[in-house]
A and B are shown apart, each in its own frame.
Chain A
Amino acid sequence: QSLEDCPLDEDEDAFQALGEEDEDIDQFNDDTFGAGAVDDDWQEAHERLAELEDKGVPSRDPDGPVGNDGDVLGDSEDALAERLTRLVIDSDLEDPAIMQAVHTSGHSQPGALNSSIWDSSAVLRRIRGPLLAQEMPSVSVLDYALPQRPPQAREEERDPSERALPRRSSSPIIGSPPVRAVPIGTPPKQAAIPNFNQQVPPRFPPLRGVRDASRGVTVSLPSSQILCPKPVHIRATMQQRYPTPYGERMSPNQLCNVPNSSLLGHPFPHSVSPVLTHLQRAQLLGGAQALSSHQAGRMSPSQFARVSGLVGSPLPSVNPKLLQGRVGQMMPPAGGFRAFFGAPPAPPPSQLPHPPGPGSHLQNLRLVPSLSRPLPCSRCPPLTLPALPRPQVFRPDTTHLHPQHRRLLHQRQQQNRSQHRSLNGSGGDRGGHRSSHQEQIRKDPYANLMLQREKDWVSKIQMMQLQSTDPYLDDYYYQNYFQKLEKLAAAEEVHGDGPKKERTKLITPQVAKLEHTYKPVQFEGSLGKLTVSSVNNPRKMIDAVVTSRSEDDETKEKQVRDKRRQTLVTIEKTYSLLLDVEDYERRYLLSLEGERPALMGERKQKICDMYDNLRGKAPGQDRLSDDHFMQIMCIRKGKRLVARILPFLAPEQAADVLMATARNLPFLIKKDSQDEVLPCLLRPFSHVLYHLPLGTVTSLVQQLTNLPQSAAAPTNPHLTAVLQNKFGLSLLYLVLSRGEELQSSDTNTELIQDNQWTELMLMATRELLRIPQGVLAKPVSIPSNLISLFSRYVDQQKLNLLETKL
């Protein structure tokens, strides 16, 4: 083959060499597209390649034979490269990467030797082929995040292809099946890298490197971006590209060959910070993985956690390739190699001096001895470097996930931080304890599996779920609970001087209320409106019509049932009103000054409504009938409702309610026998009582005892029933006590009242005496002034009896 005949004589004229290169290229062409290719049908191959680009499926192109050829070709290209580099004036650049870079840059010089090569359409085609093939081998999260890029990529290719080395004549093989969709749980990458969604280098080289088989990876970068758009052909097996002066260390050239290595084509970024695109980063990170055989398919933001720090970091213009060629290392934000081996925040900075010039990379290279391993290495890259202050433990048993070293770095950083913290004595004992704890279990390699970013992401999701425009509406119990706790804490604090325990309160994000008026979808030009039913605009499925039943047909039971139902409805309505009224206080505090009178007015109105509901609306009618009220009171919920409403009612209204209750007490007692809810009324009743004048009290007692009966009646069933019931008795006592209070406090009581009162008292005492002890109910509380009350009306003997009874 003419390839082998390619002269390596140094003295040969470069142009001549180039001429011969033409032949080589033709040969390359043949191999790829012509007869030499296994697949004779170049169209098919091309289509496959095109498909590759579209779908990102790496196709296994004719691998074997072409690959072999490729190697051979590569060798010859090596020779060419070598020859070309000797043309380079700058002799400082000994570094192979530099040479290579110069090589590429040399091509861009006008009138360069290479123009004939690089400009040839054949070359372009050849370049593009691999480019197409290589470009989107795998789908990643970014795929759906960013729009498709292939057309743009092709454009880019045209530009940088002149500078790119023609790496391969054969189509590149991306060996492993593509890494497909990221698991759902992972946070999206672009969340943390907002800068990078301009143009879309959407796809990544497969993160799982198949070292042997993979051929090349092209990275297309947005040209408008700072970093050059560079399709980078990376040879797979160009082990001997340059004689490596660095021993077993993987030369950057080797790194070139490593798939997913993040070598970028352009050696000299135009003195701007290499803003890395997703692709680059992926490569960076992918490169990290490349060295480890454990290529988890998962692309996760954790990969970018570090890299995002690289945004805007001005890498030295010298050799970004080299920098990024640090397979398995991340570019620190600090730039240069400084934080190369350490976590960015707490890097061991002094280890790697910022490379001032081309010469320094050598040094840096030397510092990478253990980093770069020969490809077949199946261990994760050891991060122990002599430069490091703290040698990192090599994790032998990592069988799974991807950016291990990143995690290690992060973990180291965490160690650093937490050690700092503990050393600083934050938390005092706790810190000290923790540091010793740390010393003991220092080597927990599984900690920090989740990066802070991921944790923040999950937290963010959870907080978003807590967003609410009206927390009292959405999360009433939570709010109330914490209010109670706070009150308790405040009370405690007031009492004791102990250290106030920090109550960590979750501050939920508050979202402003936005009024969304839903407008149904309308299309222009359509006749009429479309009936599109959606969540906001549901379609009516059932025609539910309310039919009122005729009164005649109903049986008595039905009527009763209906009445009960109506009562229930009334109770519910009143309850809503009540809840609203109770809420007014809070709203009052939250509202603006101008709105407050309106609020108060509303509140008053609602209270009136409540009362009306209770007593039965019928303003024209004389409120003689307690029927409505009784109905409500027969229902357990109704009783509770009344108890809650009472505080809001005006005194007269409250007294009215009380009277009604007292009047019908036996009935209520009978109805309450199962529920026993009446005592709940006691407290509000007592509150009401304290505001009642004597007259009312008297009539209350009257009601209670139902005295208009003939005094001669031996028994007073009303009173008896009252006395026998806990609630009744308690209520009676309360009323009596109130009366006594009034009497004793105010000596100017009216005589009429006195008479009535005296009579009532006599009656009451008589009854009390008469009733056997056992039957007497146990009241909730016995007011203390009852004895004094009774003492006015009975003699001592009876008083003693009464006392025993009470």
Chain B
Amino acid sequence: LAALPRDRPALSFPAEKHLVLLRDGRTLIGFLRSIDQFANLVLHQTVERIHVGKKYGDIPRGIFVVRGENVVLLGEIDLEKESDTPLQQVSIEEILEEQRVELQAKQESEKLKVQALKERGLSVPRADTLDEY
């Protein structure tokens, strides 16, 4: 917050948009309003951004209070650079649809894999016995 010298102090006015990546893979973008020593965050006017391929969609979520242990990383968004991305923004429904499709495809390929392994007599470790990440 203060350790790294910057032109502007953190969490000051005008507020900067921050991007937070959570452990469950969600990406939140919002104005970081408050932080504490556990990295609990208070995000204002948060938007959950879902990425599928080259497309992304934003779901407005409001105010988020995130428990620190679930935060993977937090970074400031450069507002100038925010606009020039190769990604294409789509509507919420579309992105959710895309996400569903992607998930389905993944599941099917996973199934095939498991099947193939089974045929060869190998066992796949169950997800719950594995460490999550």
Contacts and interface: CB of A to CB of B under 8 A. Distances in A.
Interface in B1-54: 1-15, 31, 33-38, 40, 42, 44
Contacts of A463: 3
A438 B14 contact: yes
Given A411-B13, A438-B14, A448-B13, A455 B7 contact: no
Contact of B3 (A411, A415, A452, A462): A462
Contacts, number: 75
Place the interface of chain A in its size category.
20 to 34
Given A185-B36, A461-B37, A448 B2 contact: no
B13 A456 contact: no
A450 B11 contact: yes
Interface majority SS (helix, strand, loop, mixed), chain A: helix
B11 A455 contact: yes
A438 B31 CA distance: 15
B44 A446 contact: yes
B60 to A, nearest CB: 16
A341 B45 CA distance: 30
Nearest to A185: B36
Nearest to A414: B13
B11 A418 contact: no
A456 B14 contact: no
Contact of A441 (B6, B14, B37, B38): B14
A447 B3 contact: no
B9 A444 contact: no
B8 A418 contact: yes
Classify chain B: how many residues form its interface, as a range: 20 to 34
Interface stretch (A104-112, A129-137, A426-434, A545-553): A426-434
Contacts of A411: 13
B9 A459 contact: no
A487 interface: no
Given A185-B40, A450-B34, A434 B14 contact: yes
A458 interface: yes
* Residue among A437, A462, A463 with max Cβ neighbours from chain B (10 Å): A462
Nearest to B42: A449
Given A185-B40, A449-B33, A458-B37, A506 B3 contact: yes
A755 interface: no
Contact of A427 (B7, B14, B35): B7
A185 B2 CA distance: 18
Q: Which of A444, A448, A458 has the most CB of B within 10 A?
A: A458
B15 A450 contact: no
A504 B5 contact: yes
A639 to B, nearest CB: 31
B12 A448 contact: yes
Contacts of B80: 433
A448 B14 CA distance: 9
B12 A414 contact: yes
A185 B3 contact: no
Given A418-B13, A427-B7, A444-B13, A450 B33 contact: yes
Interface string A500-537: 00001011000000000000000000000000000000
Contacts of A462: 1, 3, 37
A449 B10 CA distance: 11
A427 to B, nearest CB: 5
A446 B44 CA distance: 8
B38 A185 contact: yes
Interface of A: 185, 411, 414-415, 418, 421, 426-427, 430, 433-434, 437-438, 441, 444, 446-450, 452, 454-456, 458-459, 461-463, 504, 506-507
Given A434-B14, A447-B13, A458-B35, 9 more contacts: A418-B8, A438-B14, A446-B15, A446-B31, A449-B34, A449-B42, A454-B34, A455-B10, A459-B1
The 3 closest A-B pairs by CB, nearest first: A447-B13, A185-B36, A461-B37
9 contacts: A418-B8, A434-B8, A446-B15, A446-B44, A450-B34, A455-B9, A456-B2, A459-B1, A506-B3
